[in-house]
Structure 1
């Protein structure tokens, strides 16, 4: 059930900001962004900081890799809004729609390096099963993925396991392809907040 707060639970200044965004962008603010403005001290600020660190902080993974991880975790959780948003952002970050679509269609045959493949498998298993085995972790390490890269990937998974559940609980509206593309451009230019 979609709570009314996403539609009208904001202070007047925030409502003006939303109206300005709509005026200049030609589209309403996506629900994910709206949620960060409601009780910003409780959710929006901390969640934005966590997601910014996980997806844009220092890492040996590229931004495209981490956005792809967010899409894979979101797909495992069945979160349509986040799959659309982070598929579009990964495609734009890589400048390679085919690569991202191949990973989401069949990870086993996708044209990606083995370390990324093993890491994406790990995140998929962790998200679906809620745990991974020592063998799962050894497989990722054997593919040449460092402990630091594994920790960075797990941070992405943590951020998106939270975000996916909120997106589904608050019934975030899915966007059309142009809406996801606009969001992707914004996320690559501005990130997730501090």
Structure 2
């Protein structure tokens, strides 16, 4: 049960973002820029970064939501699961392995990222902006994970909700739906 009154039809982050639309607006804007804006990292790659950080932070809502979004972008259900099991054996490029490692370490503590990880990423072809964005996405998802779990938001009653959410994230992005979310009431 959430620690503050939230709309029961809006589990996880959506309920929190609707609770305080004023503070939600800049968070949504930054997320839209980082995960859907122009980048040499694909949207699927950026969703994998959100997934690995959320998984490391043991945030069930965010891990499941971003796994579903990554799966939808990648057109398969294997890669996101494999990165959660072992980044080094996952079916991603060496550059993505290096960036996912940086993201995972950032999720634990920014101080865990060392020159060794940065050099590995650069040697695998990562640009400075890709390294920057990886760390910023990881830091942003630490905020989301702690926001969701720190206020004990509800998980969806139906696991199918995550597929609906993934579809919304892929096809609409991270901005607020113009019509709001009343249509999700049952």
The reply to whether residue 67 of structure 1 matches residue 16 of structure 2 is no
| Structure 2 match to 1:144 | 125
- What is the TM-score with the length of structure 2 in the denominator? 0.87
* Matched position secondary structure for 2:174: coil
- Alpha-carbon distance in structure 2 between the residues aligned to 1:189 and 1:51: 15
Q: Is the 8 A contact 1:54 1:159 kept in 2?
A: no
Q: 1:95-118 CA distances to partner (integer Å, 9 max, x unpaired)?
A: 111122111122111111000000
- Give aligned pairs, total: 174
Higher RCO structure (Cα 8 Å, ≥6 apart): 2
- Alpha-carbon distance in structure 1 between the residues aligned to 2:7 and 2:91: 42
| Structure 2 match to 1:50 | 30
What is the CA distance between 1:69 and its match in structure 2?
Answer: 0.5
Runs of 4+ in structure 1 deviating by more than 6 angstroms, as ranges, are: none
- What is the TM-score with the length of structure 1 in the denominator? 0.84
What is the RMSD computed on CA atoms of the aligned residues?
A: 1.6
Gapped regions of structure 2 (runs ≥ 5): 177-186
Q: 1:121-178 CA distances to partner (integer Å, 9 max, x unpaired)?
A: 1111121133211222111111110111111212211210110100111112223431
- Alpha-carbon distance in structure 2 between the residues aligned to 1:91 and 1:57: 19
Indicate how the Cα distance of structure 1 residues 99 and 39 shifts in structure 2: closer, same or farther if over 3 A, else same: closer
| Structure 2 match to 1:111 | 91
- Alpha-carbon distance in structure 2 between the residues aligned to 1:50 and 1:183: 19
For the pair shown, the structure with the greater C-alpha radius of gyration is 1
Gapped regions of structure 1 (runs ≥ 5): 9-27
The reply to whether residue 6 of structure 1 matches residue 13 of structure 2 is no
- Alpha-carbon distance in structure 2 between the residues aligned to 1:158 and 1:4: 24
Q: Is the 8 A contact 1:6 1:31 kept in 2?
A: no
